[in-house]
Structure 1
């Protein structure tokens, strides 16, 4: 499905990001750059998949991003798929949330997406095609208690994506921009939650279960492939019916 495509996945060391990297690699991408601040955690990916390359990258470091894109441009001359997956949480009620907690989440989840997309989109427009997929959340569409910072970023990337869908194609380039909004997903961040919280999450979901990283990776694969070539500016909710 991804034959000859050059792909970048941020936050590729674990959870959803890692699953996306593995899924893209299995579906014959020419190369998948797995980007994360913890490159050591991705060493086994390089050993397992010959078409995966681990890159230590901070999405808040614009100079490092530009150097990374320069290297890709010299080697391949293009980027076909960008998955903006890197993200963090620093949850707190609004009256207790510190400025540091606010700024940290905004910098990674919102500005980090801006940084990566600003670096990649011009190359996609120049080459005439590309798919940009950004990880949002049902929290970004419907809010959640104690996640003002996180909700702001996840709602923000949806708004940016709608603008990008119009902006990046305005001169005829087939550059698409879409979001994925996961619901409750089994990841390293949720696996250690108390059982009663996990049961509550499942009870709120019509399909009565947590989603798996592969559920999200399958959505990313679809949006990265030519099977979604007429889809842009959309938010794909993969949440088991949590938000209807």
Structure 2
């Protein structure tokens, strides 16, 4: 059984996910970084590119859309490590289009990955967290789950659902020493966003009072705080990190 505290991060290999893994690793956690089954080679390349050692970050194949697959994989995690101290639900994708053009497949894929994954990944861990009397669950939602966004009815619905899930689960776990919170980033300088055309980036920055994008590291530091002992009396909250673009 591992002596380090254990943090499990879904969507670990994206821009924000990578920053979260670095920060939690620096905080002393062994980070279980999930990736899609069949992407083992890409996961190893990511580990090498980020200079993670096996004692710091361990890749974990996990189909966040598969209820039974998650239950089995996370049962094995519990058997191997004994506990999960921090769960960061960060897996997500977009399939943007106007609602009148949206296919059910585009709707379903986003809801499954961004919202149903919360059930699939959290439920196998939640009971044990409550039994052990401690734990941190942090769900990565979005500014667009609060204000909506043209062409993102599927994504905004899923991200808004994450906030309702967060509040409800926080009520269930409050007496057990388990906190459940959400972080809602605004536009963030991930490789995907930074690759946009300059005029598009400038247009985005023009909507933000601070006139810049968030850094992935700023998002990761908020997760680090919510995972810490210092945040033990914070639960059911959504932390907005958007440079003043939307004040809720």
Shared fold by TM > 0.5? yes
Question: Which of 206, 209, 218 is residue 221 of structure 2 equivalent to?
Answer: 218
Structure 1 Cα separation of the partners of residues 34 and 188 of structure 2:
21
2:172 is the alignment partner of 1:167? yes
TM-score, scaled relative to structure 2: 0.92
Tell me which residue corresponds to 2:200.
197
Distance 1:202 1:53, change over 3 A: same
Could you tell me how far 1:192 is from its partner in structure 2? Answer: 2.0
Larger mean CA deviation between 63-72 and 156-165 belongs to 63-72
Match of 2:128 among 123, 131, 135: 123
Task: Give, in whole Å, the separation in 2 of the partners of 1:140 and 1:155.
Answer: 4
Contact 2:184 2:241 in 1 (8 A): yes
Matches within 5 A, 1:94-243: 94-169=99-174, 172-243=175-246
Instruction: Return the alpha-carbon distance in structure 2 between the equivalents of residues 97 and 232 of structure 1.
Output: 35
User: How big is the shift at 1:198?
Assistant: 0.6
Indicate conservation of the 8 Å contact 1:13/1:41, yes or no: no
Tell me what 2:47 maps to: 45
CA distance in 2, matches of 1:39, 1:221: 27
Report if the CA contact (8 A) 2:65-2:117 is conserved: yes
1:189 counterpart SS class: helix
The answer on whether the counterparts of 1:8 and 1:32 sit within 8 Å (CA) in structure 2 is: yes
Q: What is the DSSP-based 3-state SS (H/G/I as helix, E as strand, rest coil) of the residue aligned with 2:182? A: strand
Once the two structures are TM-superposed, the CA of residue 41 in structure 1 deviates from its matched residue by 3.0
Instruction: Identify the range of structure 1 (124-133 vs 74-83) with the bigger mean alpha-carbon deviation.
Output: 74-83
Q: Tell me if structure 1 keeps the 8 A contact 2:75–2:124.
A: no
Aligned to 1:18: 18
Aligned to 1:57: 62
The answer to whether the 8 Å contact 1:110/1:154 transfers is: yes
Distance of 1:106 and 1:141 partners within structure 2: 16
Q: 1:150 Cα deviation (Å)?
A: 0.2
Tell which deviates more after alignment, 103-112 or 73-82. Answer: 73-82
1:129-188 deviation per Cα after TM superposition (whole angstroms, max 9, x unaligned) = 10000010000000110000000000000001000000122xx31011000000010113
5 Å matches for 1:63-102? 63-102=68-107
Determine if contact 1:12/1:42 at 8 Å carries over to the other structure. Answer: no
- The aligned residue for residue 32 of structure 1 is 31
- Stretch deviating more after TM superposition (90-99 or 33-42): 33-42
Identify unmatched segments of 5+ residues in structure 2: none
Shift of 1:16: 0.4
User: How many pairs were matched up?
Assistant: 239
Distance of 1:101 and 1:151 partners within structure 2: 13
C-alpha contact 2:136 2:180 (8 A) present in aligned 1: yes
